[in-house]
């Protein structure tokens, strides 16, 4: 259990699109080495921003990626990993691909608070 909200195509609308404020989503896939660098950063962000940031994770299934059968992945063009997307009130504000530096995430969050 990571302590982050686990997203899927079934709950994405409710948890992200209908959410008020900032939502930080880590799109990752199993077997992605660099993806493992993101959860410790997410934990720090969750602590730092407490009630001002909803921290979520979205496990992209490789078979869904190949089959193009995940509507969320297709809509937001999540084809590389890790891919962080920050939403505000249901609108994409930042799309960050392959960054592992907490300062880059803090800058993106601060800019959109």
Domains of the chain, earliest start first: 5-112 (3.40.30.10)
Known catalytic residue at 56: no
Helix axes 38-49, 102-112, angle to 10 degrees: 40
5-7 and 53-59 strand pairing? parallel
Render each residue's pLDDT in the chain as its tens digit; 113 residues: 467 999 999 999 999 999 999 999 999 999 899 999 999 999 999 999 998 999 999 999 999 998 999 999 999 999 999 999 999 999 999 999 988 889 999 999 999 99
Known catalytic residue at 35: yes
Smallest CA-to-CA distance from 5 within 54, 77, 66 is with 54
Q: Which of 5, 19, 32, 96 is catalytic?
A: 32
pLDDT in tens, 66-96: 899 999 999 999 999 999 999 999 999 999 9
Q: Which of 7, 22, 25, 35 is catalytic?
A: 35
83: Cβ contacts below 8 Å, ≥ 6 apart: 26, 27, 28, 95, 96, 97, 98
Smallest CA-to-CA distance from 37 within 70, 84, 107 is with 84
């Amino acid at each position: 259990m990571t302590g982050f909200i686990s997203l899927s195509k079934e709950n994405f609308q409710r948890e992200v699109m209908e959410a008020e404020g900032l939502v930080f989503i880590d799109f990752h896939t199993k077997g992605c080495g660099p993806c493992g660098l993101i959860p410790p950063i997410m934990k720090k962000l969750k602590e730092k921003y407490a009630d001002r940031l909803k921290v979520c994770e979205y496990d992209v299934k490789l078979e869904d990626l190949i089959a193009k059968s995940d509507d969320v992945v297709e809509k937001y063009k999540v084809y590389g990993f890790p891919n962080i997307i920050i939403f505000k009130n249901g609108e994409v504000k930042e799309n960050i691909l392959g960054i592992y530096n907490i300062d880059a995430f803090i800058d993106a969050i601060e800019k959109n608070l």
